[in-house]
Structure formats: structure tokens, C-alpha cells
Amino acid sequence: MPAIDFNSLRQQFPLLKERTYLASHTLGPLPQKAALDIEAYTKSLYLGKRALSIWLERYEQMFPLIETLLNAPTGSVAITASATAAQAAIAAAIQPNVKRNRIIVTDLDFSSCRYLWKSQVQRGFDLIEVVAADGMQISSADIIAKIDDRVAVVAVSLVSYLNSARLDIQPIIEAAHAAGAIVVLDAYQAMGVIPIDVTSLGADVVVGGTNKWLCGGVGLGFAYVEPSLAEQLDPVYPGWFAHLQPMAFAETFTPATGARRFQQGTPSIEPIYTSRAGIQFAIDTGVEQIHQRNIELTTYLIECADLYNIPILTPRSPHQRGGTVLLGVEQAATVVEKLAALGIDVDTRSSLGIRVSPHPCNTKQECQHLIENIVNIALRTKLG
Ligand SMILES: Cc1ncc(COP(=O)(O)O)c(C=O)c1O
């Protein structure tokens, strides 16, 4: 693998020049190139109906881009308004029956997904929530122990948004398939930082979106749906962008082939423009290369934190974590605010600690700078 000069690539990200920005898990820094796309979109807005064909062309270009990112076959990706919307379209198309009515989730999944899957109880499903026994990581064995022929769906996050714990997903997929269940994998926190090859993974549905490690701004979710599964599921609340021939405005709904049948009405066009450069950056740089760089930076970050005995609330093994490190810092919200005033951007969720996510173009010096400032703030807070 040729070495990548991340220092030169850094020039493509204006935010990285202005701030010590370590928050790719929430909003990845937008590449400079996106500004040109956004400008093109703004200009197109003044074209009125003449913009429609231009927008549709750009929209169509987005599918092969996402398919390339995921190594997904042509036609196996749907574009949605959010990752939750993508999962909702799949959930609605799966009916519970007396023999198979269970859904498995975990307590480390993203809140939005948990709301969605828990709400399926209203439709006759039973929910099983697997909890992280050590509070940090879900063991695949704990999930597999719950999988039997009563399970319809295993709906779990590959990488937890809370502490970046990463599931050992392959054995879970195998166990689910052996029991006749499907796996809906929320890989949002992995997109653009951990290589996802949906074909070799064998998951049934993989969802993600653009605003985190893909550095593409908000408003665009997507779902890979395994082609034969897509054909078996009938959409329950489709729209014209799910039709085989949207422009035919036919009387009856004929589902599109493949994943597009899970789409709905007119898509948002602005995120189609905003997100292209970030996805292209991930493809051009190589997600495997980005992953290796992330491991280098997060390992260094952990070493720096260890020097000051800052608890690490993310699994230490690079194979068991995503791109983020959760630092066990007390009064995290206050510390995050003070760091922001010093030009350092990180964040906190549920007062668990501070989430730190190095973009591949961040540096070791920036990781060290963050830790030193956390220590200084903590000392000042104690003394004060
Ligand atoms: C693991 C995970 N899934 C999903 C999402 C976002 O879902 P949605 O696009 O529905 O807002 C997030 C955002 O924080 C996330 O961390």
C-alpha cells in the first residue's frame, strides 16, 4: 500500500486550518471542493424547472459513488433522508407472525434506531435488548445466544455512537442467517473510517449517511439492501422515487427493482451536492488507508491519555473499536466548552466522557495538544 501524504491532503479541509478539530464522529470537516458543488447548486436554484434535469443527473451519479464506497452491486443502494428513514422503510416491509416476531437490538445502538425498532412492538413484534455486560462492549456471543427461529430481525450498530465499541458482526450474521433472521446493520459510525464491503460481509441491510466520517454535511442517508431480499420485500409506504418508472406517473405502484423500492418522495437535492466531495475523498484516499491512519492517531491519543491516567472508555484493541476514543473525563460538558474556547472541538454524550475522533488529516501533535489542555483544565477546575 503506497504511503499517503495526509499532511498535504490536509490543505483540502479549511476547518482543519482554523481549529483543532477532532469531532468527525458528529460532523466531519467539509472538503474545500464541496464549496464548488454548493455554489453550483445555489446557481441551479435560479434556473427554475430547467434545474430538474441537472439535479436528476447529479442524483443518479450519487448511486454508483455510494455503491463503490460499499462494494455494493449496481442497483442495491437506496438514497434516503436519514439512516432512520432507511431502516423504517425496511421495518415496515417486514411483518411479524406468531412464530417469528422478535427483534434484537442493543443498548449501545444509536437512540434514533432504538426508538424505531422499539416502536415495532406496536405492530406485534417483541423486542429483546442485549446490554453490554461490562458497560463498554457487547459480546457477539451474547447476541448469538438470543438468536433462534423466533427472531425476525437483528438490528444493531456496527460501531457504537457512545463509545465507539465495535461489534464482531460476522458470527452474528452467520447465526442470524442460520436461524432464518435478517440483519439490519447500522454502519453509520463506520462509513468512511472502517472499510465496509457489503458483498463479503453478507449483511442483508447496511445503512449509513454522509455527515460524519464521510465529511459530507447533513441530509443524506442511504441503505444497501441485498438484491434478493429487496425483491422479496414489498414496500409499505413507498413514493414515486420508489417506482419502477417514476416519470410514468402510473395509476398503480410498481416497485423499482432493487433497493430503490424503499425510497419515497422527492429527494433533497442540496445534500446530493454537499456530500459528493467527501465521499469521493474517502474513495480516492482509500478507506483502508484512512482506517490505518485513524488507528495510528487513536493509538497515540490513548498513549497520551495513559500518561495522565485518563480512563479510556473505548475498547483498547484497534479491532474492537471504531474511529473514536471516549475519554473518561469528569464534568465533560464543562471541559468541552472550555476546550472550544481554546479552539479545540470535541464533544460529549450522556455525560459519559469526551468523544475524540481524529480525521486522517489531523496530527499526533493535535492529539497531544488536546490531552494537555484537558489536563490543564481539570487541574484549574480542581484548584479553583
Ligand atoms: C450509529 C449512528 N446511527 C445513525 C445516526 C444518525 O441517524 P439519522 O441519519 O437517522 O439521523 C447516528 C448519528 O449520530 C449514529 O451515530
pLDDT digits (tens, 9 = 90+) for 81-137: 999 999 999 999 999 999 999 999 999 999 999 999 999 999 999 999 999 999 899
Task: Report pLDDT for 1.
Answer: 64
Long-range pairs of 341-349 with CB within 8 A, sequence gap ≥ 24: 342/373, 343/18, 343/19, 343/20, 344/19, 344/20, 344/22, 344/369, 344/370, 344/373, 345/19, 345/20, 345/21, 345/22, 345/23, 346/22, 346/23, 346/370, 347/23, 347/25, 347/26, 349/161, 349/162
For residue 86, give the ligand 1 atom closest to its CA.
10
What pLDDT sits at residue 180? 98
User: What is the pTM (predicted TM-score) of this model?
Assistant: 0.97
Residue 112 CA to ligand 1 center (angstroms) comes to: 7
User: Ligand 1: which atom is nearest the Cα of residue 84?
Assistant: 10
Query: What is the model's pLDDT at position 352?
Result: 84
The per-residue pLDDT for range 302-341, each reduced to its tens digit, is 999 999 999 999 999 999 999 999 999 999 999 999 999 9
CA distance 153 to 222: 19
Mean pLDDT, residues 55-59: 98
Retrieve residue 78's grid coordinates. Answer: 437506496
The CA-atom distances, in angstroms, between 113 and each of 4, 157, 160 are 35, 9, 12
Residue 378 CA to ligand 1 centre (angstroms): 31
- pLDDT band of residue 378 (cuts 50, 70, 90) is confident
**Residue 153 pLDDT more than 60?**
yes
DSSP class of residue 218 equals S
**pLDDT value, residue 54:** 98
Q: How far apart are CA 269 and CA 60, in angstroms?
A: 11
What pLDDT is recorded for position 351?
75
Contact indicator for 323, 24 with CB cutoff of 8 Å: yes
Distance CA 33, CA 352 (A): 35
Distance 188 CA to ligand 1 centre (A): 6
CB 266 within 8 A of CB 246: no
| Residue 384 binned pLDDT confidence (cut-offs 50, 70, 90) | low
Work out whether the CA dihedral 32, 85, 290, 66 comes out positive or negative: negative
**Substitution candidate for ligand 1 out of 25, 27, 112 with most atoms within 8 A of CB:** 112
Is the pLDDT at 208 greater than 60, yes or no?
yes
Least confident of 142-146, 151-155, 206-210, 379-383: 379-383
